[in-house]
Structure 1
Amino acid sequence: MVWLGPPLLLPIVFLASHVGAASDLTLLADLRRTEPQRFFLTCVSGEAGAGRGTDAWGPALQLEKDDRIVRTPRPWPPPQLARNGSQRITLRGFSRPSDLVGVFSCVGGAGARRTSVLYVHNSPGAHLLPDQVTHTVNKGDTAVLSARVSKEKQTDVIWKSNGSYFYTLDRHEAQDGRFLLRLPNVQPSSSGIYSATYLEASPLGSAFFRLIVRGCGAGRWGPGCTKECPGCLHGGVCHDQDGECVCPPGFTGTRCEQACREGRFGQSCQEQCPSTGGCRGLTFCLPDPYGCSCGSGWRGSQCQEACAPGHFGADCRLQCQCQNGGTCDRFSGCVCPSGWHGVYCEKSGLSDWAHGSASTEMHDTDEGYFGGHVSAVAAPG
């Protein structure tokens, strides 16, 4: 790790994130941001072949701070980097909240499966804060970044893209206490780190965002975007290069159709959240084009709020519409009584289930962003 100089924003051409097929790599961040000594970042690899052969993950697993856009003072004492075998590495021991501001990366894999998972951390005391840090959109979509005013200043707001000047908003252009940057017809080249900063204010007081633009329009993938996505469920995102579903934390399966047990994550639900509160207070960053979100059943800027009744999944984006006595579990969706199944517990008997026709439409508040069909199958109760 390299920690350099005073706070400074620098231009950057490109932040590499993904090459080849989706990999089982997760960057967890503890969001107890007012207690920097308790903050930690953990990089976890669930690749079955880790430590074996030329494609071994173990030797290549890295966790570091990317100082190309946001440089912060060198922390003292420096954070501790701890390794637990070849598939897990943790960074902890920050001394001040300002040490946490910036871009962190978890890197693993070799060759075609080399993957970098990015996490962006904002200062809790910033003048401007992002309503949502990670935005995943499709090629040709309109992306809207929203910076909420936390500490008002009587100056204009400068937007930057990858550290370079992008746009200025007059201080009177705030809408309901928010400065909005609207990006129509985004392309993959629009991807990167965006920031909103009051004029002449410290960059550490900025709202930092990460924009991920899939290389295809909604529901499409492959060369020329001619192939149809499989229909990623429960908020999963269709990868634009290989058509695989990158599943939200807490779901698994080729279409993210199955819910993990509470507190578990990973492509095979093999990992468990490290705290007694389950996944409360943790954010999960996955390979692009998914980005970051709270774990299933949690929402909020620090992932400490349980889903409201009737909502479930990562960031509580999904809605239950349970029928026939089904109840909504905030981690997995509708839990059906005996004799009923289906997304809404709307099906009885076994004939249609046996023929695999349990799929039906469900409501996803980010359906336009995920490049897959908005549908789901029943998750295990």
Structure 2
Amino acid sequence: MVWLGPPLLLAILFLASHVGAAVDLTLLANLRLTDPQRFFLTCVSGEAGSGRGSDAWAPPLLLEKDDRVVRTLPPGQPLRLARNGSHQVTLRGFSKPSDLVGVFSCVGGAGARRTRVLYVHNSPGAHLLPDKVTHTVNKGDTAVLSAHVLKEKQTDVIWKSNGSYFYTLDWHEARDGRFLLQLPNVQPSSSGVYSATYLEASPLGSAFFRLIVRGWEPCGYFLWVRCGAGRWGPGCAKECPGCLHGGVCHDHDGECVCPPGFTGTRCEQACREGRFGQSCQEQCLGTSGCRGLTFCLPDPYGCSCGSGWRGSQCQEACAPGHFGADCRLQCQCQNGGTCDRFSGCVCPSGWHGVHCEKSDGGDPLRSRTLDEGHFGGHVSAP
């Protein structure tokens, strides 16, 4: 697979997105706010000591529209950046739908931990929409990008990679109302922002995707070594800890980047409903909780709905038996355990473990309670 865009742009995307490791940085978008004048983005940093003590002179959080790959018309008016202390910034002031389309980025952390989190926003009125915006895969995997037809046109579909022409699909090749792009044996050059657009249609009608090929290590300026699943570090010689609940092993230090709603060394603990951040220290505000919010975390995680929610606008509750971010996880509870869509298996008195399969042996001081933010059982993706 050959990437057709400028080599420097690829290097900038990788470096900006991967410098540092496991920084507690979250970029949120409320997908329920379809009116541009009400829409806003918020970036939250949970880094310890942010803005205090030795970090007092650390670079501030930055939140901006990123025009390096997806170029759209300039905003109708200057966007406004508001700061809520040193740990949170909000970007608002969008005046028309085209202002929202494209890539946004938040940069936080200091020194070697300076990290960029990317978010790709699609217009809800586009001709094509992605079934899933962010795809995280390992070197050698096959990635499949699926563009759902919202407004059918009898014309070919042009696929672009990082803004450059990549592939053409005849309009007859749509299957079940979708255009699929298969990328076998993905390599470092496969990473980036992809788009699917009807021929001669406005880019604002495109479906935009982000593909992350997990596990890289710089060797010189433009040479990259890629680790496969479960490996990290120099020469990919080290094993990941086995991240649970959809957590992704960071390619630099082997730490698990946990989905919103989970915490712990291996993402083994569920936060209380409506909580997020590496220590569950942040809370979704309002009566709807995390409904309608998309959460973007440092690579190689990417973006997803919060725990307990799924769908293109993150407004659909998980189906029975499913839980976690994007409802990707499946409960397999035993011994009377019940499936909670935010946390997984909740075990009855006398049982604990991933599937409530372990007996407490009559010990009255059984596993920690729901209120403490720890739950009896959790399962990884099936």
1:57–1:193 distance in 2 versus 1, CA, 3 Å:
farther
One of 308, 311, 326 as aligned partner of 2:322: 311
Q: Distance in 2 between matches of 1:86 and 1:177?
A: 46
**What is aligned with 1:368?**
none
Equivalent position SS for 1:70: coil
For normalisation by structure 2, the TM-score amounts to 0.88
**Structure 1 residue 167, shift from structure 2 partner:** 0.8
Give the letter for the 2:313 counterpart: Q
Matched, 1:338 2:349: yes
Secondary structure of the residue that 1:98 maps to in structure 2? helix
**For residue 3 of structure 1, what is the aligned residue in structure 2?**
none
Residue 19 of structure 2 aligns with an amino acid whose one-letter code is V
Equivalent residues in 2 for 1:237-248, closer than 5 Å: 237-248=248-259
Question: How far apart, in 2, do the equivalents of 1:241 and 1:280 lie?
Answer: 32
Deviations 1:30-67 (A, max 9, x none): 11252222211001000003124665585331000011
Aligned with 2:37: secondary structure? helix
Contact persistence 2:59–2:110 (CA under 8 A): no
Query: Is the contact made by 1:122 and 1:129 (CA closer than 8 Å) also made in structure 2?
Result: yes
Structure 2 residue matching 1:86: 3-state secondary structure: coil
1:107 and 1:57 map into 2 onto residues whose CA distance is 15
Give the distance between the partners of 2:122 and 2:135, measured in 1 at CA.
Answer: 15
1:146 correspondence with 2:146: yes
SS in 2 for 1:71: coil
Shift in Å at residue 266 of structure 1? 0.3
User: What residue is the counterpart of 2:40 in the other structure?
Assistant: 40
> Which stretches of structure 1, 4 residues or more, deviate above 6 A after TM superposition?
351-354, 358-361
Structure 1 length normalisation: TM-score? Answer: 0.88
Aligned equivalent of 1:230, options 230, 237, 241: 241
Q: Is the 8 A contact 1:20 1:112 kept in 2?
A: yes
Cα deviation, residue 110, structure 1: 2.1
Q: CA RMSD in A?
A: 2.3
Distance, in Å, in 1 between the alignment partners of 2:41 and 2:139 is: 31
Q: 1:158 to 1:56 in 2, by over 3 A?
A: farther
- CA displacement at 1:79 relative to structure 2: 3.0
Gaps of 5+ in 2: 216-226, 367-374
User: Which has the larger displacement, 12-21 or 275-284?
Assistant: 12-21
Over 3 Å counting, the alpha-carbon distance change for 1:158 and 1:54 in structure 2 is farther
Match of residue 251 from structure 1: 262
Give the secondary structure class of the aligned counterpart of 1:204. Answer: helix
Which residue of the partner structure matches residue 190 of structure 1? 190
For 2:254 and 2:54, locate their aligned partners in 1 and report how far apart those are by CA, in whole Å.
Answer: 25
Does the aligned pair in 2 maintain the 1:57–1:87 contact within 8 Å? no
> What do residues 265-323 of structure 1 show as CA deviations (whole Å, max 9, x unaligned)?
00000001122210001000000000000000000000001111111000000011111
Counterpart check, 1:268 vs 2:279:
yes
Cα gap change, 1:66/1:206 in structure 2, threshold over 3 Å: closer, same or farther?
Answer: same
Moved more, 118-127 or 44-53: 44-53
Distance 1:181 1:351 in 2: 55
Provide the rounded CA distance (Å) in 1 between the counterparts of 2:351 and 2:377: 15
Matched, 1:97 2:108: no
Aligned residue in 2 for 1:290: 301
Does the 8 Å contact 1:30/1:41 carry over to 2? yes
Q: Which residue of 2 aligns with 1:277?
A: 288
Aligned partner (choices 353, 364, 377) of residue 381 of structure 2? 364
Range with greater deviation from structure 2 (75-84 or 229-238): 75-84
